[in-house]
Structure 1
Amino acid sequence: VPRRTGHPHDSSPAWSPDSRKIAFVRSGDIYTINLATRALRRLTRSGGFDPSWSPDGTKIAFSRGPTRGREIYVMRADGRGVPRRVTAERGDALSPDWQSSGHDPVIAGAGDIACDPAGRYFNGGAGTKTLCRGQHTANRLLNMDLDKIFALGDDQYTKGTLSQFQQSYDSSWGALRTITAPSVGNHEYRTPSAAGYFDYFNGVDSAAGPAGNRDEGYYSYDVGANWHVVVLNSACGYSGDGGTVPGGCDAGSPQEQWLRADLSANARPCTLAYFHHARFSSAENVRAFWDALYDSGVDLVLNGHDHTYERSAPQTPSGELDRDRGIRQIIVGTGGKSHGPLNSDVPNREVANNDTYGILKLTLRPASYRWEFLPEVGKTFADRGTTNCH
């Protein structure tokens, strides 16, 4: 475990929402430390305990006062201004916490995540400086207030066995399994029928669960009042993998027919879909998915498989720019396993990076979405923007 400060009596650490700083107590006062620059800032000079960041990271709440007589104060996180008392005088208030109200749903995730625990670079889950960084991307998720987490396939290398999930994925991203809506990748199918993947997310031998029906691996769910989410199984037949989704992925397949029926029944104004293989870079055989998604006015598609971050402008299933009805594709294969080369022939690509691990955060507003790529701590690449729903 890396040491972040050098004082023997530092306590009560609290991560900032963007994971770039930690607030903590030293000798009875509140401090913050910037993890990238190691810059230390003292916020209080009259005592303070139990620091807690506001959801937007601009303020810190803390308690102050003698035992059985503490009060809650709020101050700016940059140390400017005077702390403001927000509870009754000498009211014995302890352990402040923030709760946002009326917020837009926030989901986040990535794909291509956890290394094989028997691999040479796993290093007990800590990885190296350039490989097996799943714990570091998980740390970004652990310090966020999320409604749902998406895992974009190849969640566990190399074969996605139950044992590999239990020894690797579970020690990092597994801490948030209860709010994770996963999709399956080709590496999971290197165990026949992706049995380890379904056993891990649904329960051993369970026919259905959070990962969908065991013989399908596709499902949908709603987030908030305005968003519908479709999760598909793009294991449509790849050399070296142990199986495919029953019925395949072509037009007229059970999955494609289910997809069209699900989208037809959806009355919510905004829709996103995610699955492992990207239409524009690695998977021509998901064209039928894109045709159905485009026909129904889907707004956004997320993928993994390529170990890169790539964002494209809205486009048609054939790759023509379409800013009115087109679907934006974002590849987020940056969950930590390794980096890969950028494809050279991706149409309408606007942003690309293949040297930074991180997660994609989506804020799902009533008629739009905001995307933000959050790199692991210490890295600087970022990408953000907002787009209206169709």
Structure 2
Amino acid sequence: MKRAAKISAAAAGLAVLTATGTAVASAHQGDNDWPYAHQSTASYTLAAVGDISCEPDDDENAATPASLKCGSPTLGGMSAEFATAKQARDMHPNAVALLGDEQYQVGKLTDFEKSFEQAWGGLKMLERPAPGNHEYYPYAKKGDNEAGQNGAGYFGYFNGHDQAGTPETQGQAGDDTADNQGWYSYDLGNWHIISLNAECDSDAFNHDCSTTDNGLLAQETRWLSQDLAANTHHCTIAYWHQATFSATTASTATVPASAPGAGGIEGAATDAWWKALYKNHATLVLNGHEHAYARLRPMNPDGQYDAKNGIPEFIVGSGGEALDTLAGTPGNYDNPNVVTAQASAFGVMKLTLKPHSYSWDYKPALPGPGFDSTALQYSDSGSGTCN
């Protein structure tokens, strides 16, 4: 059963999400109708991005090396997350799809409050997040050693928490229970949108990344199949953090970029999701994790180009924290399905969702460390139809 997906209880007289998540507009709308009201059924705007906020440089994070915190010259820092937040806000979106790793390095609630909230808090009631590895896993790299939060800070921030800091069990990030770690779906017009949790190598999932046993990821996979079977909308988007197919060197050390699972154990597990989405004629898959922007050709579950029934994948991990290195060069990417990509600037993708079609528009908002304003000359836009 789909859980009620509320955008704003305070937005009386403005647009709300129904019990199935469908956005509707009320009869009473003021002149200042954004962010909640929606006057047209012709199109909806979905902003999409992941990998956003640097770890605050505060007393609580004193043991974290300076190179991993806000202010480091190798990171985007606060200026990058403010730039991408403004870019998203200027889109006047109906919803914001957050593609994981909203808060580095381990997504403590205090880190969310001191970093992510400062830039992206103004869009909070429109944000429809998915978690990433930095919200679940411990971080023990580059001289750091922080315990994993298993989603506690993530759910505490997006779903709210009690006075002791314990996350609420329901909210805009989905259910936070022993049987459901935040997967959910919602609707915008004729679009069915699904947010999934790929962080299976965590204590919360008992480090079980099987999609066929009785573990939590298998339960999530069965839920996805049921959700897709019940869906009556013409167009479908699914998003999660680790990409099934890759575009950067960070994810291609052992598996070719064009093979399922280049993103590691999580990317391999999400191959099952790709199969279910392909079977049900999904329109788009959105991912983060790779700190770059990339658009991939329509693919079947084996990573082969399939112009008729394949699903295009967008990687939008350019939210502000840092940037990776692309695998290959324009015209000669390691993954031949990569149509275009950039890893020299931070930015957000705008999706315009129409009843039977969509368009995308990606422009960077701020050059990355070591890059100049020429990085802002990149752009990628186009349109497609629902399968």
State the Cα distance separating 1:173 from its structure 2 match. Answer: 1.2
Distance 2:51 2:33 in 1: 33
Q: Equivalent of 2:240, from 249, 260, 275? A: 275
Q: Does the CA contact (< 8 Å) of 2:195 and 2:239 recur in 1?
A: yes
Q: Does the CA contact (< 8 Å) of 1:312 and 1:328 recur in 2?
A: yes
Partner of 1:172: 119
Correspondence 1:362 to 2:351: yes
Q: Does the CA contact (< 8 Å) of 1:121 and 1:131 recur in 2?
A: no
1:376 match: secondary structure? strand
Distance 1:184 1:297 in 2: 25
Q: Equivalent of 1:163, from 110, 115, 126? A: 110
Q: Does the CA contact (< 8 Å) of 1:234 and 1:245 recur in 2?
A: no
- Bigger fraction of residues in helix: 2
2:341 match: secondary structure? strand
Gaps in structure 1 of 5+ consecutive residues: 1-95
Correspondence 1:222 to 2:161: no
- Compared with structure 1, are the counterparts of its residues 376 and 121 closer, same or farther at alpha carbon in structure 2 (3 Å cutoff)? farther
Q: What does 1:50-129 align with in structure 2 at a 5 Å threshold? A: 101-102=39-40, 103-118=42-57, 120=66
Distance 1:299 1:121 in 2: 39
Q: In the TM superposition, what whole-angstrom CA distance separates every residue of 1:278-333 from its partner, at most 9, and x where no partner exists?
A: 00021222111111111111010000000011110101010111111101001000
TM-score normalized by structure 2? Answer: 0.70
Distance 1:245 1:312 in 2: 32
Identity percentage over the alignment? 37
Q: Equivalent of 2:196, from 232, 235, 243? A: 232
Q: In the TM superposition, what whole-angstrom CA distance separates every residue of 1:338-385 from its partner, at most 9, and x where no partner exists?
A: 000113532411011110110010000111110111310562211001
Q: How many residues align?
A: 291
Gaps in structure 2 of 5+ consecutive residues: 1-30, 58-63, 138-147, 162-166, 247-262, 329-333, 367-372
TM-score normalized by structure 1? Answer: 0.70
Q: Equivalent of 1:302, from 277, 286, 299? A: 286
1:331 match: secondary structure? strand
Q: Does the CA contact (< 8 Å) of 2:96 and 2:126 recur in 1?
A: yes
Bigger Rg, structure 1 or 2:
1
1:387 match: secondary structure? strand
Q: Look up the equivalent residue of 2:195 and give its one-letter code.
A: V
Partner of 2:271: 287
Partner of 2:76: 131
- The structure 1 segments of at least 4 consecutive aligned residues displaced by more than 4 Å after TM superposition are 96-101, 125-130
Partner of 1:265: 230
1:357 match: secondary structure? strand
Distance 2:48 2:155 in 1: 19
Distance 1:121 1:105 in 2: 39
Query: CA RMSD, aligned part only?
Result: 2.4
Q: In the TM superposition, what whole-angstrom CA distance separates every residue of 1:230-288 from its partner, at most 9, and x where no partner exists?
A: 11111122xxx665478645146101100000000000000000000000021222111
Distance 1:220 1:382 in 2: 30
Distance 1:249 1:229 in 2: 24
Distance 2:352 2:270 in 1: 26
State the Cα distance separating 1:131 from its structure 2 match. Answer: 1.9
1:325 match: secondary structure? coil
Correspondence 1:185 to 2:132: yes
2:133 match: secondary structure? coil
